[in-house]
Structure 1
Amino acid sequence: MKKTYYPQIDETIYYETLDNGLFVCLLPKNDFTLTCGVYATSFGNLDCNGKIQVNGKYEKMQSGMAHFLEHRLFDNKKGNVIDLFADLGASCNALTSYNKTAYYFTTSRNVNECVEILLDFVSELNVTKESVEKEKDIIIQELLMYQDNPDIVLTTNILKNAYHYDMIRDDIGGDTNTVKATTLELLLSAHKTFYHPSNMIFVLIGNFDPTKMMQNIRHNQNKKMTAKPLKYQKFKKIEPREVVKEFESINMDVAFDKVAILYKLPKVRVNVTSKKLELKALHGQVVLDAMFSSSGEVNQYLIEEGVIPRSVNASYINEFRTSNFVLITADVLDVDRFIKIVTTAMDDFEKYLTKGKVENSKKALMGRFITSLNNTERIGVEVANDYFKGLDYLDKPDIIEEISFNGAKKMGEKFKKAPRTVYVIKKNEQGSESSD
């Protein structure tokens, strides 16, 4: 077991790669009441764009399989996993994203027992054809519920209008057809392929002895997944630079009209380092914050002019395994004015970006990072997420310090040159849905 001390935040992480390939990361915080364990795999919906080995032959994966697998793992041969944790006074949950699936617990007692359950149930897929068929109905009902959620409809549909082939255009849960096409054999093979310890990380944050805990984890993992993972073939299609559709409007039952504006940037080059990519992401967010944060000039103007009832959401997504885009969303009182003001501001971003605002953004980012260190669940998920990106989450302060005015300006120039698409949800006065 090795350890690294981070003097800037006065934290020490203990870590080790076990014989079966699992990377273990321990962050003792003995003044904390709660302890959180996160067990994550680098398997999300983006990985469902390919073929895996099923009974010796390659078979096409189905969109939504990562989410389906997450659902099924909670039914363990020892019983329902949520009940097992509850009996120990702990809570547990899971999340599936485009690039990972993470399972986690939070507890103030019985830490060793909770760690054991988490490591065991994620490693053991207990499914039958009957349970898979039953789960299909549950997931399809969940997906149908999403279709009535205007915020989910807004985000899902603008991604479909932006991307031709990239899996980010698919809902993380897939759709009715892909869920129905998911089989027991596909799920078993996906688990053997992507839930191999060498594709995973275990993170523990809270009140425990790191030496004893690492010994317990080694003992648990000694006989787990010693066979090599199954082979996986990813489909490769070149994503066109242009968007699928530049504008679409539908009607739904909403309190306010909703607008999403997406700027589609070229996919990240494979030779870009993880640190450089993270710095680009931070530079991009600095540009957006100068205009659209709660104190941003454009956001304030939109509110004062009665164009929006509350603040804009503006994010820049830029990672190796996901696409590269700016997404701006808001509840809107005047759709046409909102679109014009926002797109004009993006074209004229230099009017709002100053060296002072860049420095303020750096301070705000550092503050958010320091605050995150007080939340065990947040730390665990972020450490896992950055590990899969080739980064160390606790090195974030060093990257934040490298943010510069010129770096932000370069990202702003890329934003204004990017093709864009707009998606609008208007109040449904007649109670019937329509589209343009």
Structure 2
Amino acid sequence: MDKKIYEQLQETIYTETLENGLRVTLLPKNDFHKTYGLFSTNFGSIDNQFVPRGKTEMITVPDGIAHFLEHKLFEKEDGDVFNTFGRLGASANAFTSFTKTAYLFSSTNHVSESLNTLLDFVQEPYFTDATVNKEKGIIAQEIQMYEDEPDWRLYFGVLGNMYPKHPLHIDIAGTVDSIMDITPELLYENHATFYHPSNMSLFVVGKLDPEETMQLIRENQSKKEFLPVEPIERIFPEETIQDIKPYDFIQMSVNRPKSIVGVKGVTEIPSGVKALTYKTTMDLLLTLLFGPTSANYLNLYDKGIIDDSFSYEFNLDRTFHFIDIGGDTKDSVVFSDEIKKILLDAKNSSELTEENLTIVKKRMIGQELQSLNSLEYIANQFSQPSYGEATLFDVVPIIESVTLTEIKKAADEFMVEDHMTTFHILPKGENEA
């Protein structure tokens, strides 16, 4: 077991990769009464074309199968796993993203039993035709609910413009039609491929003894048999800048228009520490341009172009990276035009000064340090995209290291008009002026 000490934050992380390939990370925080465990697989909604483990031919699986599998793993022959956690006094949950599926528990008592339960139920699937068919109706209702959610439609609308071929533009839960093709056999095949320990990681944080906890995990895994470790071959559609759809809109039952601007990253995605530095640089850039104390934000707010629903984000993950900036507005065209104007002149923006950067850095570092008081935040951040040897505890020194020159360079390279798109949602009966 390896041990890494972060002197500045007074944190110590213990890591070990087991013989079956499972990477385990432990973070003792014994001033907390709660322990939080998160078991995740590098398998999300975009992974719909791959070579199954033990086979040689590429297959395409129904959209939404990763999310469907997440739901079904909680149901066993002898009952619902939620009931098991409940009897232990623990709470449990799970979530599926574009690239990850994660299962978690939190507890103040019976932590060893809860941790064994987490490992066992995720690694021991049970599917039947009856239970799978029952779940189709439940998830179909969930999909239809999100189809009526304007902010969800806005987000996937801009993804559809940026990634018309890539599965990123498809709802994480799939479609009502796609989930009808899911079978127990497909679920078992996906589980065997993506839930191999070598494609998974376990993170435990809170009140724990690292030696005892690691030994419990070793013993749990040693009792199970897994196929040999082998890489997973996945395929994603190739896209060009020409595939980006510059604009689209839909009408929904909303009181005010909604607008979102997307900027698609088309350069090669860095890896390891460079990826975390790149993401931090882009986060700083967006905060300088659109943060609540920036002149841009105040100007747009005073003119009524944006309101408190305004948000911005830089997303970077396994096969994609992009910016999305959106919110409610009185005029969707004016909103998107103003945002694009700011982005296209970002490298020359009067917001990009050493003084502003110092202020934004201090605020970001303060927020980061405050977030480290939340076990849930820490665990969820460790389940996010891999940055190689870099971890959550490297963020503060990386924030401190980013220069204004690097931020301006990022603005110059990323903010290209041909990489931009807009998507609007208008009240029913309204059209763009």
TM-score by length of 1: 0.93
Contact 2:272–2:387 (CA<8 Å) still a contact in 1? no
Q: Specify whether residues 355 and 50 from structure 1 end up closer, same or farther in structure 2 by C-alpha distance, changes over 3 A only.
A: same
Q: How far is 1:94 from its partner?
A: 0.5
Retained in 1: the 8 A contact 2:158–2:421?
yes
**2:307 equivalent to 1:276:** no
Note the residue ranges of structure 2 that are not aligned, 5 or more in a row.
Answer: none
CA distance 1:345–1:231, change in 2 (3 Å) = closer
Q: Structure 1: which amino acid aligns with 2:106?
A: T
CA contact (8 A) 1:28 1:205 kept: yes
Q: Aligned pair in 2 of structure 1 residues 236, 310: CA closer, same or farther (>3 Å)? A: closer
Q: Which moved more, 1:408-417 or 1:379-388?
A: 379-388
Deviation at 1:337, TM superposition (A): 2.2
Task: Write the deviation string for residues 272-299 of structure 1: whole angstroms up to 9, x where unpaired.
Answer: 3321122111111211111212222211
Q: CA 1:359 to 1:322, structure 2 compared with 1: closer, same or farther past 3 Å?
A: farther
Give the paired residue count. Answer: 430
Give 1:394 deviation, angstroms.
2.0
1:132 pairs with 2:129: no
- Deviations along 1:338-370, one digit per CA (max 9) or x if unpaired, are 222211111222222112222222222222221
The 1:130–1:229 alpha-carbon spacing in structure 2 relative to 1, beyond 3 Å, is: farther
C-alpha deviation, 1:229, in angstroms: 5.6
8 A Cα contact 2:260 2:325, kept in partner: yes
AA aligned to 1:301 is N
CA displacement at 1:96 relative to structure 2: 0.5
Kept in 1, the 8 Å contact 2:44–2:66? The answer is yes
Mapping for residues 15-26 of structure 1, pairs under 5 Å? 15-26=15-26
Query: Distance between the aligned counterparts of 2:361 and 2:243, measured in 1?
Result: 32
Question: How many angstroms does 1:414 deviate by?
Answer: 2.1
Report SS of the residue matched to 2:180.
helix
Partner of 1:340: 337
Change (3 A) 1:435 1:189: farther
* 1:335 positional shift: 2.1
CA distance in 2, matches of 1:105, 1:268: 36
Match of 1:92 in 2: 92
Q: Is the contact between residue 206 and residue 376 of structure 1 (CA under 8 Å) also seen in structure 2?
A: yes
CA pair 180-389 structure 1, distance change in 2 beyond 3 A: farther
Are 2:249 and 1:249 equivalent residues in the alignment? yes
- Give the alignment of 1:33-182 within 5 angstroms: 33-52=33-52, 58-182=58-182
Amino acid at match of 1:43: F
- Could you report, residue by residue, the CA deviation over 1:385-429 in whole angstroms, capped at 9, with x for unpaired residues? 254765322222232222110111011112321421111111226
The question of 1:30 aligning with 2:27 is answered: no
Fraction of identical pairs, as percent: 34
Kindly indicate whether residue 304 of structure 2 is the aligned counterpart of residue 312 of structure 1: no
Q: Distance in 1 between matches of 2:360 and 2:243?
A: 31
Give the residue type in structure 2 aligned to 1:277.
A
Contact 2:273 2:388 in 1 (8 A): no
* 1:63–1:173 Cα contact (<8 Å) kept: yes
RMSD (CA atoms): 2.2
Q: Counterpart of 1:328? A: 325
Q: Tell me which amino acid in the other structure corresponds to 1:214.
A: M
Deviates more, 1:242-251 or 1:74-83: 242-251
| Structure 1 range deviating more: 86-95 or 47-56 | 47-56
1:401 is the counterpart of 2:392: no
1:425 aligns with 2:425: yes
The CA deviation at 1:231 is 6.9
Shift of 1:71: 0.6
